[in-house]
Each structure stands twice: as C-alpha cells, then as structure tokens.
C-alpha cells in the first residue's frame, strides 16, 4: 500500500489521497520527526491502528528514507482493505 508521510504534524491523522510515484497513496501525518526512522515507525503504528490491525501486521517494504513509502499488510483478515479505501477517499 503506497503512503505519503507528513512528519512533524501537530497531530496524527490518517486519511486523504496523494498521487505519488507508487500510485494513489494514503496520506499519513505524524508528530514524529523525520529523523532516525522515528516518523516511519510512527506511520507504521498509525496505519495499523487506522486499519484495526496489530502493528506487526504492517511492514515497510520501500522508502525507508523517503516521504513516499510502500507498506505491506500481512493480516489474514481482508476486512482492512475496505477500511483502507474509506481512509484514502477521506478528505485530507
């Protein structure tokens, strides 16, 4: 799942769409700074919470040092896909 990260935000927010280099991406804003992987870890946890999954089910695949990242969801339950679509269609 492509994600566009907005580090250093005032609050964590998952929702909205961004046309990124990996296709339509979900926008995730986190308060963590883009230093030493802190924002990436905060995004992983925020995604898991928004999709109602355990954090271990969300794994970074591409973009460790980029604002444009690709995560893989390893959950067997596919209900998270409907939640993802709703979040992506949400206003940013």
Q: What is the pLDDT of residues 60-80, one digit of tens each?
A: 999 999 999 999 998 887 788
Where do the domains of the chain lie? Answer: 2-89
The β-bridge partners of 3 are 26, 69
Q: Say whether 17 sits in a helix, a strand or coil.
A: strand
Which pLDDT tens digit goes with each residue over 22-73? 999 999 999 999 999 999 999 999 999 999 999 999 999 999 999 999 999 9
Architecture of domain 2-89: 2-Layer Sandwich (3.30)
pLDDT tier at 11, thresholds 50, 70, 90: very high
- The values of phi and psi at residue 37, to 5°, are 75, 10
């Amino acid at each position: 799942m492509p994600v566009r990260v907005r580090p250093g935000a005032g609050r964590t927010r998952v929702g909205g769409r961004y046309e990124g280099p990996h296709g339509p991406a979900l926008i995730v804003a986190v308060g963590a700074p883009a230093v030493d992987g802190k924002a990436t870890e905060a995004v992983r946890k925020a995604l898991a919470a928004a999709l109602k999954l355990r954090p271990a089910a969300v794994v970074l695949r591409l973009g460790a040092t980029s604002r444009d990242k690709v995560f893989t969801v390893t959950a067997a339950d596919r209900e998270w896909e409907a939640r993802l679509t709703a979040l992506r269609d949400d206003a940013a």
